């Protein structure tokens, strides 16, 4: 991945073949050439891949672009959000399917055990909400929220969405997740963003050029986390 700030070499994981193959296909089609890193948060991640960003003007709101499909979620207990991993962005769809194009690369920070415990609670909160939405008993509530979306009634949507989030906090009908000790050790040393584990698909990692991630993460941004000066992906090439 050749950027304004230098070149990163990214290894794609075989454990998440749908995302691996999709990324390779898009790279070969030059889909990522000239797109921006449109969302940058220091000590968190750098996000890019919105095709609408190629010709974006200063002040344009970005982050909603993509191709007309999603990639099915692929979760592995062995993949986690350590510094340098490549993962798929997504919206709030109930299947947790990934954006066709948008991705993020984790910068993150170093965590202690107390913060990791809080991250674990946050992970399980997101899992509880996901499985609450998947529970057939709650389908009428989800249908009502969807109708509010279809009717463009944001007040009713907010009401239903807030109710779902509140009710899901006490939902227990799922296997809770504990951050494994080997993962904790890496979060305590290398760093990352553990609260995203098991909720967003990870499909690769930077194996050369991690300093480029740090440089991009440090740029000045506006109130929407878009870099003040554009940070562009010049091209993505498939090696081998």
Q: pLDDT (tens digit, 9 = 90+) per residue, 37-50? A: 999 999 999 999 99
For residue 128, give Cα distances in angstroms to 21, 79, 125, 164.
Answer: 30, 20, 5, 10
Using DSSP, state whether 36 is helix, strand or coil: strand
Are 12 and 51 within one domain? yes
Are 108 and 146 within one domain? no
Q: How much is the average pLDDT of 143-168? A: 91
* pLDDT score recorded for residue 197: 97
Q: In the chain, how many domains are there?
A: 2
Are 200 and 220 within one domain? yes
In a domain, 173, yes or no: no
Phi and psi at residue 18, in whole multiples of 5°?
-65, -45
For residue 193 the two structure tokens come to: 């963003």
In a domain, 176, yes or no: no
How far is residue 177's CA from residue 221's CA, in Å, rounded to a whole number? 34
Are 84 and 191 within one domain? yes
Give the residue from 91, 3, 41, 5 showing the smallest Cα distance to 225.
41
Which runs of consecutive H residues, i.e. helices, occur in 105-172?
A: 113-134, 139-150, 154-168
In a domain, 52, yes or no: yes
How far is residue 13's CA from residue 111's CA, in Å, rounded to a whole number? 25
Are 109 and 215 within one domain? yes
Sort 192 into a burial class: Cβ within 10 Å, 0-12 / 13-18 / 19+: buried
Are 71 and 99 within one domain? yes
Are 42 and 136 within one domain? no
For residue 124, give its domain range: 120-168
Residue written as token pair 């929220």? 145
Q: Quick one: which H or E segment has residue 41? A: strand 37-41
Percent of the chain having pLDDT more than 90? 90
Beta strand segments in 169-238, E: 202-208, 233-235
For 75-106, write each residue's pLDDT tens digit. 999 999 999 999 999 998 889 999 999 999 99
Are 109 and 127 within one domain? no
How far is residue 63's CA from residue 65's CA, in Å, rounded to a whole number? 6
Give the residue from 207, 196, 235 showing the smallest Cα distance to 45.
196
């Amino acid at each position: 991945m050749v950027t304004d700030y230098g070149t990163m070499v990214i290894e794609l994981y075989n454990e998440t073949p749908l995302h691996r193959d999709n990324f390779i296909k898009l790279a070969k089609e030059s889909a990522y050439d000239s797109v921006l890193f449109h969302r940058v948060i220091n000590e968190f991640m750098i996000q890019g891949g919105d095709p609408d960003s190629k010709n974006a003007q200063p002040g344009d709101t970005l982050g909603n672009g993509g191709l007309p499909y999603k990639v099915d979620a692929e979760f592995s207990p062995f993949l986690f959000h350590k510094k340098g991993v490549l993962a798929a962005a997504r919206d709030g769809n109930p299947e947790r399917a990934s954006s066709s194009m948008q991705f993020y690369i984790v910068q993150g920070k170093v965590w202690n055990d107390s913060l990791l415990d809080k991250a674990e609670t946050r992970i399980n909160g997101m899992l509880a909400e996901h499985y609450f939405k998947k529970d057939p008993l709650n389908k009428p509530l989800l249908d009502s929220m969807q109708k509010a979306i279809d009717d463009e009634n944001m007040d009713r949507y907010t009401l239903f969405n807030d109710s779902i989030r509140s009710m899901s906090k006490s939902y227990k009908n799922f296997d809770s997740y504990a951050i494994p000790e080997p993962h904790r050790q890496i979060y305590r040393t290398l760093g990352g963003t553990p609260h995203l584990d098991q909720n967003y698909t990870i499909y690769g990692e930077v194996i050369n050029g991690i300093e480029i991630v740090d440089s991009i993460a440090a740029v000045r941004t506006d109130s929407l986390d878009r870099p003040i000066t554009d940070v562009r992906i010049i091209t993505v090439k498939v090696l081998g």
